């Protein structure tokens, strides 16, 4: 599976569920922007490692909204403590999707330790995340995204799609996202 | 102990947080913050999330602010160095406010030698990053904390309140 295919599925699922979507730095945000731009997407441009944390704070602040996070193996390895925090403090409206391509895809595809066998699914379970799944087929991913798993680890191929730079400024990304995140009326189906 | 008609150092900070309307906090502990952390943990109006690392707390607080909360990050100054990139490339890049309540170790009276280097670097680091910082006495701390949040919110930036060993003598 290509990463952009999983990102497209996640974006479609987020829209169908009226979910807020936090997207990791680098190509993942650009791929999301190219397949389905929504004001409910927060494109992270810096602060590598913190996508899962941003989503966690947001999910706690807005417990009535589903919050999905698109993260990567390199980024999760940079902030491994996040798995323990999520295990014990994430509310039910929080869902972390780790797109594991075994490399730092935005900096030249240097291998991460998942290429050598480090198992992020096992780490999530060991951290105490009970509702975690490991998926590598499209049908499994679509099902997991629609459910209430806390963490989904999706194995994807190495490689970035040819996609444009995000055309919004950081201030514009934040302004439109915060407006959606603070709105009491979600654009789609809200989660009970 | 503080003077009987004055709030303690801990209470002054807590009252400042309440006056500022802080309703979300992330923290990594310092021994001097323990009573404040207990007060926040027991306050039903404040969501409190213990973080594993200060930088993680910056991310958590940024997300909470996007969702409409007023966030504070409580930590020791040793953790400020762990936050530098997140403060710059998340909060300062997008214009996200954050109130940092920092136990400032490594100054006069510090018993732990390892605290000294970061203690000396804390103010220069904040200055280099262009982050406003306040160093109140306990008597002004309530007002200063509220004021610090107002600056953060008005400018969409992180601000720091530094509380050194002398500050905590009346905790």
Which residues in chain A are contacts of B21 at CB distance < 8 A? none
* Residue B85 touches chain A, beta carbons under 8 Å: yes
How many residues belong to chain A? Answer: 192
Task: Mutate one of B21, B46, B66 to test the A interface: name it (highest A CB count within 10 A).
Answer: B66
pLDDT of residue A186: 46
Let me know if residue A178 belongs to a domain.
yes
pLDDT value at position B39? 98
CA distance A179 to B131: 26
- pLDDT for B6 equals 65
Rounded average pLDDT over A95-108: 96
pLDDT at site A191: 44
For residue A44, the chain B residues in CB contact (below 8 A) are 90
Report CB contact under 8 Å: A45, B85.
no
In a domain, A192, yes or no: no
pLDDT at A173 over 90: yes
Q: In the block, which residue shows the tokens 């030249």?
A: A108
Dihedral sign for Cα atoms in the order A44, A49, A50, A55? positive
Residue of B nearest to A178 (CA): B66
Does the pLDDT value for residue A190 go beyond 50? Answer: no
Q: Is A85 close to B95, i.e. CB distance below 8 A?
A: no
- A57 inside domain: yes
| pLDDT, average across residues A42-51 | 98
Contact B63 A59 (CB under 8 A): yes
Asked whether residue A189 carries a pLDDT value surpassing 90, the answer given is no
- Separation CA A146–CA A141 (nearest Å): 9
Domain count, chain A: 1
* CATH class held by domain B9-170: alpha beta
Q: Which two tokens stand for residue B81?
A: 């160095």
Structure tokens at B1: 């102990």
Structural domain including A73 reads 3-182
Residues of chain B scoring pLDDT < 50: 1-3
Report the CATH number at residue A154: 3.40.50.970
The partner residue sitting opposite B59, judged by closest CB among A53, A170, A177, is A53
Mean pLDDT taken over chain A: 95
Interface of B with A in 20-49 (CB under 8 A): 24, 26, 47, 49
The CA distance from B77 to B68, in Å, is 27
- Pairing of the two strands A151-155 and A94-100: parallel
Closest residue in B to A48 (Cα) is: B86
The three-state secondary structure class of B160 is: strand
Which of A24, A26, A53 best tests the B interface by mutation, with the highest count of B CBs <10 A?
A53
B64 contacts chain A (CB < 8 A): yes
Question: Chains A, B: CB contacts under 8 A, how many?
Answer: 122
- A141 in any annotated domain: yes
Residue A86 belongs to a domain: yes
> Rounded to whole angstroms, how far apart are CA atoms A43 and A25?
7
ipTM: 0.96
A170 part of a folded domain: yes
pLDDT over threshold 70, residue A124: yes
Domain definitions of chain B by residue range = 9-170
Task: Tell me whether residues B85 and A46 touch, CB distance under 8 A.
Answer: yes
Are B63 and A182 in contact (CB < 8 Å)? no
For chain A, say whether B102 makes contact (Cβ under 8 Å).
no
Residues of A with CB under 8 A from a CB of B: 22, 42, 44-62, 79, 81-82, 84-85, 89, 170-171, 173-174, 177-178, 181-182
Mean pLDDT, range A59-83, rounded to an integer: 98
> Angle at the Cα of A149 (from A146 to A152), degrees rounded to 5?
90
pTM attached to this predicted model: 0.95
């Amino acid at each position: 599976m290509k990463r952009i295919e999983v990102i497209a599925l996640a974006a479609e699922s987020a829209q169908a569920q009226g979910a807020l979507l936090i997207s990791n730095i680098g190509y993942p945000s650009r791929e999301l922007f190219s397949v389905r731009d929504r004001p409910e997407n927060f494109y992270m441009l810096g602060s590598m490692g913190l996508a899962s944390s941003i989503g966690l704070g947001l999910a706690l602040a807005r417990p009535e909204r589903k919050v999905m996070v698109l993260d990567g193996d390199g980024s999760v390895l940079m902030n491994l403590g996040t798995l323990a925090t999520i295990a014990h403090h994430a509310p039910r409206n929080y869902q972390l999707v780790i797109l594991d391509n075994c490399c730092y895809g935005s900096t030249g595809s240097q291998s991460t330790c998942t290429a050598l066998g480090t198992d992020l699914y096992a780490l999530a379970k060991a951290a105490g995340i009970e509702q975690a799944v490991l998926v590598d087929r499209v049908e499994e991913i679509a099902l997991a995204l629609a459910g209430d798993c806390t963490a989904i680890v999706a194995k994807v191929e190495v490689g970035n799609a040819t996609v444009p730079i995000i055309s919004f400024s950081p201030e514009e990304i934040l302004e439109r996202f915060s407006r959606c995140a603070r709105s009491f009326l979600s654009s789609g189906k809200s989660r009970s | 102990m503080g003077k009987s008609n004055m709030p303690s150092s801990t209470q002054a900070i807590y009252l400042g947080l309440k006056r500022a309307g802080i309703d979300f906090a992330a923290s990594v502990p310092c021994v001097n913050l323990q009573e404040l952390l207990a007060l926040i943990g027991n306050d039903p109006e404040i969501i409190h999330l213990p973080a594993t690392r200060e930088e993680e707390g910056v991310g958590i607080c940024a997300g909470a602010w996007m969702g409409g909360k007023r966030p504070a990050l409580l930590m020791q100054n040793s953790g400020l160095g762990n936050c530098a990139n997140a403060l710059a490339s998340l909060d300062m890049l997008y214009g996200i406010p954050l109130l940092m309540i920092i136990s400032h170790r490594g100054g006069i009276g510090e018993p732990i030698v390892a605290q000294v280097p970061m203690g000396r670097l804390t103010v220069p680091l904040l200055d280099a990053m262009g982050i406003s910082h306040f160093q109140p006495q306990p008597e002004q701390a309530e007002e200063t904390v509220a004021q610090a949040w107002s600056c953060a919110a008005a400018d969409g930036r992180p601000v720091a309140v530094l509380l050194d060993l002398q500050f905590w003598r009346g905790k």
